[in-house]
Structure 1
């Protein structure tokens, strides 16, 4: 597998950002719905006779059509039991269409060419909010298998879902609303509060905590107009420094300005030394990358100066030493645990 190392710049300085990009309105959200059904019309790639729940489901379906057949007498391999999942958008209305994801739960080899039977989709409260039915498309879905053979056991029914029950969210008649920041931070909460109050020249926003800002609708506007204006306002936003690591692909996304604190770390045959010094030592047989970074090729050591070394140039140096993506990820995780990296480390 080919690994890709990415370094993107996350500015630590203040950035002008729309409020809509960093917050959501409390109570306005998506809802997950789920259902169980059958996919039919497969070319002998459905569930086998060991999937008893599939045979029982076929039997129950036939009984509903006045055909009495015991599960033990059913030998079809053209049917697969599936779980159907989807997301209801906020303010979805009856008749709205949406995509649904179909995933096999039996031993089916493939759902290609199948048709999803009518499926009630329920919310966490057990009520039916939508129905789904249609042809299953496996294009673009993950597959499993080797060589030229693939066995897609999940797929999408495009526009296969139909809203039957609406989730009422009354925004228009409300006098108060609450913004929730996507990332917690007292400084950003106050910045949002100040930006809104400055625009309206009155106290319409109050930061309640590090994430919540309570809003009061002005008298001369409806709540819809008020929220539309608020979401388009710019404010000074300071994002947190993050290092995102994808262990499966070896991808690392880090801010180039994330500094490293003093530490001595050994991983395999690689040693990293970050020390407080006016200058970086240049041992014999080493390669000086710049005034703050030296690679000891003989001992596989990296010498850096405190306050000048970032995650970005450390990873670049590790690459030059021939470290694998897996080694680099392990080193970053160890440095985070040791307190050398102050940024948030997120493994996905």
Structure 2
């Protein structure tokens, strides 16, 4: 049985060894308008070694469009064989303040039944934003980490994902996105996670640094900051604010359980009220050993199967353990390890403590 010295012990050392320390404001959130934008596009990958779409209409129409751009028109009813080409979707993130001419990394994924994009080249194609405008152009040779092989007898071997690849610097920015932060009445800073205590400390730190009571709390996420007009003055102010140290509020008591992997994470704020816990296991085993019965010679009898079942019950007895008032993460780990509980057993214990009102923490099941 696996013991729970796993993640909980590591977290115990982490929470006990590291003192609380200030974080930079830039690590707690971002300014509104300073963000990336998603780009997508449809294109064709050529140069494949017989692993393309072949019969996919999207790839056929796309190839006809590419050919027509070079002045070649195929006769009606003639479709190019596309085993060496594949229709793909291309995605990229356009960073804040990206300027025309800068390079973007792009991800290329097969749209149809292409078996592999390994060795392919993406033909020039536009990348559009949510507003339908073109913000970048993409083209280049794919780097594919996966591998797929088909043998003549029908057997197959696939390593990783051969139908998706990356092109580092495969797109060039053609249009900048206007952030708008230079002309807004105020700057708005948003926390990554809502917290009333932390947002108050952020506002206080800004007021102490820049003076004039410029920062005002809007809600548990946002601080509005009065700033001078002009991109240069605001950029300098934002840079100063981002590097101000702030002591964030302690995280709320929380237990995270991943039911699929059996991972249990308990943060250092979890405390247990007085409680006694007994956790045992009952195992029932049924062993079937049928016996073959042969009739006596010349008795006109028939061979029969005689059932033979053995039932055994095993109950694993484990001692009861007691949580004293204010028991911490260390006490929980020590008690659970003492009875040799598995992650599944720990989940059952924590759920019971929660229902009994002995654990004041959020129990999150992933």
Cα shift at 1:172: 3.9
Task: Work out the CA distance in 1 between the residues paired with 2:59 and 2:225.
Answer: 52
Say if 2:143 is the partner of 1:131: no
Which residue, 245, 251, 257 being the options, matches 1:234? 245
Distance 1:32 1:325, change over 3 A: farther
Say if 2:90 is the partner of 1:84: yes
Distance 1:40 1:234, change over 3 A: same
Task: Work out the CA distance in 1 between the residues paired with 2:218 and 2:149.
Answer: 49
Which residue, 155, 161, 164 being the options, matches 2:165? 155
Cα shift at 1:103: 0.8
Aligned position for 1:169: 179
Query: What does residue range 59-138 of structure 1 map to in structure 2 within 5 Å?
Result: 59-65=64-70, 66-68=72-74, 73-138=79-144
Secondary structure of 1:229's counterpart equals helix
Give the number of equivalent residue pairs.
Answer: 318
Cα shift at 1:74: 2.8
Say if 2:57 is the partner of 1:52: yes
Deviations 1:260-295 (A, max 9, x none): 45789999938xxxxxxxxxxxxxxxxxxxxxxxxx
Deviations 1:64-95 (A, max 9, x none): 33231567633221111111001000000001
Task: Give ranges in structure 1 of 5+ residues lacking alignment.
Answer: 271-296
Deviations 1:182-221 (A, max 9, x none): 11011111111111112234311111111111101269x9
Deviations 1:10-30 (A, max 9, x none): 589853111111021011111
Give the TM-score taking structure 1 as reference length. 0.75
Larger deviation: 86-95 or 298-307? 298-307
Task: Work out the CA distance in 2 between the residues paired with 1:148 and 1:75.
Answer: 25
Task: Work out the CA distance in 2 between the residues paired with 1:133 and 1:111.
Answer: 14
Aligned position for 1:29: 35
Cα shift at 1:259: 2.4
Aligned position for 1:273: none
Task: Work out the CA distance in 1 between the residues paired with 2:50 and 2:128.
Answer: 30
Contact 1:56 1:71 in 2 (8 A): no
Say if 2:270 is the partner of 1:258: yes
Task: Work out the CA distance in 2 between the residues paired with 1:204 and 1:53.
Answer: 55
Query: What does residue range 133-282 of structure 1 map to in structure 2 within 5 Å?
Result: 133-139=139-145, 149-150=158-159, 151-174=161-184, 176-217=186-227, 222-241=233-252, 242-244=254-256, 250-260=262-272, 269=281
Contact 2:118 2:142 in 1 (8 A): yes
Task: Work out the CA distance in 2 between the residues paired with 1:48 and 1:329.
Answer: 51
Task: Work out the CA distance in 2 between the residues paired with 1:267 and 1:68.
Answer: 75
Give the TM-score taking structure 2 as reference length. 0.72
Contact 1:59 1:71 in 2 (8 A): no
Distance 1:214 1:113, change over 3 A: same
Distance 1:118 1:214, change over 3 A: same
Deviations 1:24-47 (A, max 9, x none): 101111100101111111111112
Aligned position for 1:276: none
Task: Work out the CA distance in 2 between the residues paired with 1:236 and 1:323.
Answer: 37
Aligned position for 2:7: 6
Aligned position for 1:15: 21
Secondary structure of 1:116's counterpart equals strand
Secondary structure of 2:241's counterpart equals helix
